[in-house]
Chains A and B, each alone.
Chain A
Amino acid sequence: MTHAASPDRVQDPGRARAVLHYLRRNKSLGFGLFALLALLAFTVIGLLVIDPNDAYPLAAPTRRAPSWDYPFGTDFFGRDMMAVMVVGMWQTAFIGVVAGGIGTFLGVVLGFTSAYFGGWTDSVIRVTCQILTPIPVLLIQVVVAGSLDKRDVTIFTMALIVVMLAWMAPTLVIRAQVLTMKERQFVSVAKLSGVSDMGIIFKEIFPNLLPFVAAAFVGQIFLAVFASFYLAVLGLGPLREPLLGNIIWLAQAQGAFFNGWWWWPIAPSVGMILILGSLALINMGLDELANPRVRKSE
């Protein structure tokens, strides 16, 4: 053995410590994750403590200002606003994750097909995205939601409406990434050594795409929450459900501020600001993680 004793290994700081260390550096990711976890804790604990039926009309005395019994007050229709916040957040999260998940999945599949196989599939997908881009997505969603029978609209249909036009952004992002990755050497090497198309896609390209997919997923959740909120504020949500946007729409229709019921629109608004704010921060943080060019030097 000609080898000398191997030099002392650099101590591995452990995964958890490394993550914490990174979060301290990437402040927006850290703050965003913290805020989202706090909201999640509020929702989960809330679901265990409150009765979800209190979030629907006629469950409580009407128009009570915040007090010990009703921390967020009660609304014109006799909803306990505390229960509304818990159930509304849960429904918002459901729409976000379902719509974001489907949108990202479609985006990854379409983006991959478009970039990897090229040809006429690529042209069709690209041109469709190009034509749909100048049309404000929300307005098309207004048409779709407005055409449905209002009694049929549920939380799940809301998610489907939102996702219908939400696949374009991830498609374009993934397509651009795959286009550059396809030309890299490791792909050529894999091709020359006879790896199949599927093998290259799943074993060579996809692992490298994961950060972008994660970023696209969070971005899609943000957009889905945003879009479903806007539809609900316009009065297109499932009207009986305590979605946060619905509550603001109802409060505005009943002239909450004119009548002095200030707590009614304020609670869902602050809740929505926290949800969107934390998602935006995580999104910014993931951008920094996925795109080394934006990554700050330490």
Chain B
Amino acid sequence: MTLMLILRRTGFLFVVIWAASTITFFIPRLSSVNPVRERFAELARLGGYSPDDLEKIIESFSTQFGLDRPLWEQYVDYVWSVLRLDFGFSLNRYPVTVVELIAQSLPWTIGLLLVSTIIAFVVGNLLGAVAAWPRAPGWARNFSTPFVLFMGVPPVLMGVLLLFFVGFRLKLLPLGGAYSIGLVPEMSWAFTLDLLRHQILPALALILGSVGSWVLTMRGMGITIQGEDYVNFAEHKGLSGGRIFRDYYLRNALLPQVTGLALALGTVVTSAIIVEGLFALPGVGTVLINAIRANDFPVIYGIVLFITIVIAAIMTLMEFIYPLLDPRIKNQ
């Protein structure tokens, strides 16, 4: 039974990957732009190549990338290489592969995402739980209102405002980049401190943009749980308020929020990518923006596929983990 389930879920994961790679295979071929030609026409404009040489270069490139073979053969090859996480070479920085580019920038993105998501999740759920908790003092219950108002603001716009007020006007924090120009990456306190100072504003932009939604869902969940029998029972048993809050109320309300975390992943990742671009952090987002600017098509498609695969894989994983968190749910 469980084996069937694992097989079905994993199968669905592969269907999603297949769908995504089909989209990234066919859409560029429907368009009138030939990526190789586009790229070399650009080089030719910058100087040096005669049109005859250019045709030869394009031809040899097309052979190397397999663009002269029948379409279905290219398609099968493409899906197979995507499944092996092989996204080909960067046109712009040949012979660097797309995977190498992603691997270089990924730690920055993961760091930013992990820290900001964890902080937003913890703070948002606590504030939301308090907002719905009838015994909390009034000021604590209203404390979360401003965060709910921030909810409609995309993190990148929050980032522009933070840059303006904190970075530009108050000059408290740097305006962008991963570390100060002139510093050499090394394992020292000074460098680590500088690095962290550069991460505060982008992280804050992401956190302020997502705390509100956690507050709202948690508050809703909290209100529903208050009417439950087990909370009434705990109250009549004379348990202390803190104990009820922690063990009976927060724990039960938290479960659906964990699912929410998996569902929010897509939005969170896309916002993080754009915020990275705004702050010129050397993460996946900046690589993507630079690739868009330079018409480096394999990098654009590679990053899109990579993120899609990661998100789909995490969502599949969550479905396996969820029954462990909530024994009432049995996977059927």
- Taking CB atoms and an 8 Å cut-off, the chain B residues in 13-29 that contact chain A are 15-16, 19-20, 23-24, 27-28
Task: Name the B residues within 8 Å of A73 (CB-CB).
Answer: none
A135 touches B312 (CB 8 A): yes
Distance in angstroms between the alpha carbons of A221 and B309 in the assembled complex: 28
In the complex, per-residue mask of B124-156: 1 if CB is within 8 Å of any chain A CB, else 0: 000000000000000000000000000111101
Give the B interface residue count (CB, 8 A). Answer: 47
Q: Identify the closest chain A residue to B157 (Cβ).
A: A269
Is A144 an interface residue when CB atoms closer than 8 A count as contact? yes
Task: Name the B residues within 8 Å of A281 (CB-CB).
Answer: 152
Is B277 an interface residue when CB atoms closer than 8 A count as contact? yes
Q: Identify the closest chain A residue to B16 (Cβ).
A: A134
- Taking CB atoms and an 8 Å cut-off, the chain A residues in 95-145 that contact chain B are 131-132, 134-140, 142-144
**Chain B binder among A18-26, A210-218, A226-234:** A226-234
Task: Name the B residues within 8 Å of A139 (CB-CB).
Answer: 270, 304, 307-308
- Taking CB atoms and an 8 Å cut-off, the chain A residues in 243-292 that contact chain B are 248, 252, 257-258, 260, 262, 265-266, 269, 272-273, 276-277, 279-281
Distance in angstroms between the alpha carbons of A116 and B126 in the assembled complex: 43
Is A148 an interface residue when CB atoms closer than 8 A count as contact? yes
Distance in angstroms between the alpha carbons of A146 and B23 in the assembled complex: 13
Contact of A138 among B164, B270, B297 (CB under 8 A): B270
Task: Name the B residues within 8 Å of A266 (CB-CB).
Answer: 160-161, 164
B315 touches A134 (CB 8 A): yes
Task: Name the B residues within 8 Å of A276 (CB-CB).
Answer: 152-154
A134 touches B292 (CB 8 A): no
Is B289 an interface residue when CB atoms closer than 8 A count as contact? yes
Is A196 an interface residue when CB atoms closer than 8 A count as contact? no
Is A159 an interface residue when CB atoms closer than 8 A count as contact? no
Q: Identify the closest chain B residue to A222 (Cβ).
A: B152
- Taking CB atoms and an 8 Å cut-off, the chain B residues in 271-286 that contact chain A are 274, 277-278, 280
Is B113 an interface residue when CB atoms closer than 8 A count as contact? no
Given contacts A135-B19, A257-B175, A262-B164, contact A230 B270 (CB under 8 A): yes
Contact of B300 among A132, A143, A262, A280 (CB under 8 A): A143
Is A162 an interface residue when CB atoms closer than 8 A count as contact? no
B301 touches A273 (CB 8 A): no
Is A236 an interface residue when CB atoms closer than 8 A count as contact? yes
Distance in angstroms between the alpha carbons of A233 and B293 in the assembled complex: 12
Given contacts A134-B311, A136-B266, contact A147 B153 (CB under 8 A): no
A146 touches B154 (CB 8 A): no
Is A235 an interface residue when CB atoms closer than 8 A count as contact? yes
- Taking CB atoms and an 8 Å cut-off, the chain B residues in 147-189 that contact chain A are 151-154, 156-157, 160-161, 163-164, 167-168, 175-176
Is A149 an interface residue when CB atoms closer than 8 A count as contact? yes
Distance in angstroms between the alpha carbons of A140 and B24 in the assembled complex: 8
Task: Name the B residues within 8 Å of A273 (CB-CB).
Answer: 152-153, 157, 161
B277 touches A234 (CB 8 A): yes
Is B332 an interface residue when CB atoms closer than 8 A count as contact? no
Task: Name the A residues within 8 Å of B308 (CB-CB).
Answer: 134-136, 139
Is B31 an interface residue when CB atoms closer than 8 A count as contact? yes
Given contacts A136-B307, A273-B153, contact A143 B23 (CB under 8 A): yes
Is B240 an interface residue when CB atoms closer than 8 A count as contact? no
Distance in angstroms between the alpha carbons of A136 and B151 in the assembled complex: 19
A142 touches B300 (CB 8 A): yes
Question: In the complex, given contacts A140-B20, A257-B163, what are 13 additional A-B residue pairs having Cβ atoms less than 8 angstroms apart?
Answer: A135-B20, A136-B307, A140-B23, A230-B154, A234-B288, A234-B289, A235-B292, A248-B156, A248-B160, A257-B176, A276-B152, A276-B154, A277-B153
Name 27 interchain pairs, CB-CB below 8 A, sorted by A. A134-B16, A134-B311, A134-B315, A135-B20, A135-B311, A135-B312, A136-B308, A138-B270, A139-B304, A142-B300, A143-B301, A146-B300, A147-B30, A147-B297, A226-B154, A233-B274, A234-B277, A234-B289, A235-B289, A235-B293, A252-B277, A258-B176, A265-B160, A272-B157, A273-B157, A273-B161, A276-B153
